[in-house]
Amino acid sequence: MRVWAPTGQTPVVKADPGRASTHFYGALNLATGEQVCLRADLMIAEVSALFLNRLLLAYPQRPILLLWDRATWHKGEAIRAVLAANPRLEIFWFPPGCPELNPQEQVWKASREAASHNHRQTHMTELADRFETYLVETRFPCSLLEKHGYQDLCAMFN
């Protein structure tokens, strides 16, 4: 990323001296641009199952079609158990190696640019809080539904 600094002066970038890390699960509502997210220490099937339950709670009584990539932590017994217990949740798998098809990847990119590039937070917790706040408070436009005529199809069935 680019950084502004006076000519001849190298900017000093402070960083957390530890090797702290955090991860985020996220689902973009393609109709509203809202984001459902979950901060996690690990990316494993059991945490993915917790995220699916959070998604089910966010949209009660509504069918959910989740477009998901093929990450290893999106598979496993914990995922199968959530799907079996919640028939209103269906997963559509993206083809392997096609992140450009996944609208959530654009959310991650925009969030990193807005919240974590050229930041002043010196601790991972502060940076993760900032990132999560941006995810929750921002509406992310997506043209995937319009591109494939979703609005026209919905009008036909109303």
Low-confidence ranges of the chain (pLDDT < 70): 1-3, 13-19, 118-119, 144-158
Calpha distance 31→103 (Å, rounded)? 12
Residue (of 20, 86, 3, 75) closest to 43 by Cα position: 75
Residue 44 is given by DSSP the state S
> pLDDT value at position 93?
92
In a domain, 41, yes or no: yes
Tell me whether residue 55 is in a domain: yes
In a domain, 108, yes or no: yes
pTM greater than the 0.75 cutoff = yes
The CATH number linked to 92 is 3.30.420.10
Whether residue 14 is contained in a domain is answered as no
| Distances in whole angstroms, Cα of residue 125 to Cα of each of 10, 36, 87, 155 | 26, 19, 36, 45
Which of 79, 101, 100, 99 is closest to 91 using CA atoms? Answer: 79
Distance in angstroms (rounded) separating the CA atoms of residues 58 and 28: 12
Cα torsion angle, 23, 136, 36, 104, sign: negative
Token pair belonging to 139? 């509406």
User: pLDDT tens digits for 133-145?
Assistant: 999 999 998 776 5
DSSP class of 99: G
Residue range of the domain that includes 111: 23-157
DSSP β-bridge partners for residue 67: 92
pLDDT of residue 157: 47
The token duo for 87 is: 């028939």
Domain-embedded: residue 130? yes
Domain count within the chain:
1
